[in-house]
């Protein structure tokens, strides 16, 4: 049962002050945020998408939440790279919270909705519309790549992505994923060997060009 | 576990990220299996990122700023109305507790009142009803009114204090 009552003038004023104060709590101005966002948004989305099990809707949600939390946190003066690492740390924690709550089960490839694919087309639609063999081959190659990454553990995906895609140092990775720096080296070594082994097994090893 | 570490690993990672290989480094990959694994893993992941960066459409920075502001305002509104909701709940709980307390405290008087009322209905004696009712009123009406007024005043005072805070 809900109770309704009239709101008083004092309450309206208080609400107004609280709302104004909420906006003032952002740690950076709009212009600075725009520059930071343009530099990091796609990188963060890609990280959340691949580490999160190729779920575009999840990546969208967590990216929004990551930037919101980033803006709300009071941080000391820091350079752009440190800010980016902090943003990735927030995203990583959000992903982990999501897994803890049991919300995410990585979807099998043939059940993934069309909207969850970067190319926006379902597997069946894509194959039917591919008039040339090249498109179908490319799609097959992408599917193989996704299957390989799906076989990695979330933690392994985090470490590999941060080290080999973002180029983060062991110290930075430790800060982002919340582990000791000494552990990163061993875990990364194992994850890399596992990935390289799978790539060899599927014939996906590409030569340096 | 034997953690082999090649001194050129950092260069290999950087080359895989950039997609550009110098001849010397490329030749090194043939000799060093560790770096070859690093190179294949790095290139594989970079290709995945290239696909994403080419195809994903993220919201504009302006939209994200507006959205963050909206979320902040919503959170602030929830925080601002929290004390009001709390006081409303406390006032409701006080009301329920006071009614229950009065029933327990004055149970004998209430029971006597309803017994007499039932007897009156059965006998049809208006005089008996008036007598019992007046006795109950004398003993408990004042207390009932006082307690009710006290709780109302307390609830209102608590509401004002919380609202100001």
Query: Which CATH number does the domain housing residue A54 bear?
Result: 1.10.1740
Q: Are B109 and B140 in contact (CB under 8 A)?
A: yes
CA A114 to chain centre: 19
Count how many domains chain A has. Answer: 2
Q: Are B38 and B16 in contact (CB under 8 A)?
A: yes
Q: What percent of chain B has pLDDT over 90?
A: 18
* Cβ contact, residue pair A206, B65, below 8 Å: no
Chain A residue closest to B17 (CA)?
Answer: A165
Mutate to test the interface with A, among B8, B23, B68 (most CBs of A within 10 A): B68
Element (H, E) at A177: helix A170-177
Burial B8-27 (b: 16+ CB within 10 A, else e): bbebbbebbbeeebeeebee
* Cβ contact, residue pair B47, A38, below 8 Å: no
Q: Pick A186's closest partner by Cβ from B3, B26, B77.
A: B3
Structure tokens at A14: 């208080």
Least reliable range by pLDDT among A69-73, A139-143, A203-207, B39-43: A203-207
Task: State pLDDT tens for residues B99-157.
Answer: 888 888 888 888 887 787 766 556 555 666 666 666 666 656 667 777 788 888 888 77
Does residue A45 sit at the B interface (CB-CB below 8 Å)? Answer: yes
Q: How many CA atoms lie within 13 A of B106 on its CB side?
A: 22
The four Cα atoms B159, B161, B162, B165 give a dihedral, to 10 degrees, of: 150
Q: Distance between CA A125 and CA B68 in Å, rounded?
A: 36
pLDDT at A30 over 60: yes
Does residue A110 sit at the B interface (CB-CB below 8 Å)? Answer: no
Residue A127 lies in a domain: no
pLDDT at A162 over 80: yes
Average pLDDT over residues A136-165: 85
Q: What pLDDT shows up at residue A94?
A: 96
CATH of the domain at A157: 1.10.10.10
State whether residue A176 is helix, strand or coil. Answer: helix
Nearest to A48 by CA among B52, B62, B19: B52
The vertex-A144 CA angle with A39 and A105, nearest 5°, equals: 75
Does residue A141 sit at the B interface (CB-CB below 8 Å)? Answer: no
Q: Pick B61's closest partner by Cβ from A37, A68, A199.
A: A37
Residue A180 lies in a domain: yes
* Cβ contact, residue pair A67, B64, below 8 Å: yes
Quick one: A94 and A140 in the same domain?
A: no
CA distance to A64, A83, B72, per residue, from A72 (Å): 13, 13, 8
Does residue A192 sit at the B interface (CB-CB below 8 Å)? Answer: yes
Q: What pLDDT shows up at residue A174?
A: 95
Q: Range of A47's domain? A: 20-102
Q: Which of A102, A125, A149 is the last residue of a domain?
A: A102
Chain A residue closest to B84 (CA)?
Answer: A11
CA B59 to chain centre: 28
Q: How many CB atoms lie within 10 A of CB A196?
A: 21
Q: What pLDDT shows up at residue B133?
A: 63
Residue indicated by tokens 């995203």: A91
Chain A residue closest to B80 (CA)?
Answer: A15
Nearest to B29 by CA among B45, B43, B40: B40
Least reliable range by pLDDT among A36-40, A55-59, A71-75, B25-29: A71-75
Q: Would you say the C-alpha torsion A22, A26, A31, A34 has a positive or negative sign?
A: negative
CB–CB contacts below 8 A, A to B:
150
Residue A30 lies in a domain: yes
Q: Are B4 and A186 in contact (CB under 8 A)?
A: no
Q: Distance between CA A191 and CA B45 in Å, rounded?
A: 13
Q: Distance between CA A155 and CA A193 in Å, rounded?
A: 14
Q: Distance between CA A38 and CA A35 in Å, rounded?
A: 5
Residue B90: band (very low, low, confident or very high) from pLDDT cuts 50, 70, 90? confident
Residue A69 lies in a domain: yes
State whether residue A25 is helix, strand or coil. Answer: coil
Q: Distance between CA B147 and CA B145 in Å, rounded?
A: 6
Structure tokens at B63: 């939209």
The verdict on pTM exceeding 0.90 is: no
Quick one: A24 and A93 in the same domain?
A: yes
How far does the CA of residue B157 sit from the closest CA of chain A (Å)? 15
Nearest to A163 by CA among A175, A151, A172, A150: A172
Residue A55 lies in a domain: yes
Q: Are B72 and A72 in contact (CB under 8 A)?
A: yes
Residue A10 lies in a domain: no
């Amino acid at each position: 049962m809900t109770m309704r009552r009239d709101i008083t003038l004092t309450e309206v004023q208080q609400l107004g002050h609280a709302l104004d104060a909420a906006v003032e709590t952002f740690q950076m101005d709009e212009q600075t945020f725009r520059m930071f966002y343009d530099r990091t948004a796609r990188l963060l989305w890609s990280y959340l998408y691949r580490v999160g099990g190729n779920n575009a809707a999840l990546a969208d949600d967590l990216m929004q939440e990551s930037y919101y939390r980033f803006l709300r946190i009071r941080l000391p003066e820091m350079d752009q790279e440190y800010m980016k690492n902090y943003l990735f740390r927030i995203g990583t924690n959000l992903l982990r919270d999501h897994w803890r709550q049991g919300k995410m089960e990585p979807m099998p490839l043939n059940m993934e909705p069309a909207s969850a694919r970067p190319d926006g087309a379902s597997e069946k639609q894509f194959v039917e519309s591919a008039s040339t063999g090249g498109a179908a081959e490319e799609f097959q190659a992408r599917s193989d790549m996704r299957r390989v990454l799906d076989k990695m553990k979330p933690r392994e995906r985090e470490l590999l992505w941060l080290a080999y895609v973002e180029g983060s140092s062991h110290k930075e990775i430790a800060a982002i994923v919340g582990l000791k720096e000494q552990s990163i080296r061993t875990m990364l070594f194992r994850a890399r060997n596992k990935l390289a082994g799978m790539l060899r097994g599927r014939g996906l090893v590409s030569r340096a060009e | 576990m034997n953690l082999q570490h090649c001194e050129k690993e950092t260069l290999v990672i950087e080359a895989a990220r950039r997609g550009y290989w110098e001849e010397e480094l490329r030749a090194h990959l043939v000799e060093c299996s560790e770096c070859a694994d690093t190179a294949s893993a790095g290139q594989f992941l970079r290709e995945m990122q290239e696909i994403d960066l080419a195809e994903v459409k993220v919201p504009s920075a302006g939209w994200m700023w507006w959205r963050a502001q909206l979320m902040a305002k919503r959170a602030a509104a929830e925080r601002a109305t929290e004390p009001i909701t709390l006081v409303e709940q406390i006032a409701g709980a006080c009301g329920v507790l006071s009614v229950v307390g009065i029933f327990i405290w004055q149970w004998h008087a209430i029971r006597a009142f309803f017994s007499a009322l039932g007897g009156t209905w059965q006998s049809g004696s208006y005089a008996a009803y008036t007598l019992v009712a007046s006795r109950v009123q004398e003993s408990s009406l004042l207390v009932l009114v006082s307690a009710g007024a006290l709780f109302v005043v307390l609830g209102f005072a608590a509401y004002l204090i919380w609202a100001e805070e």
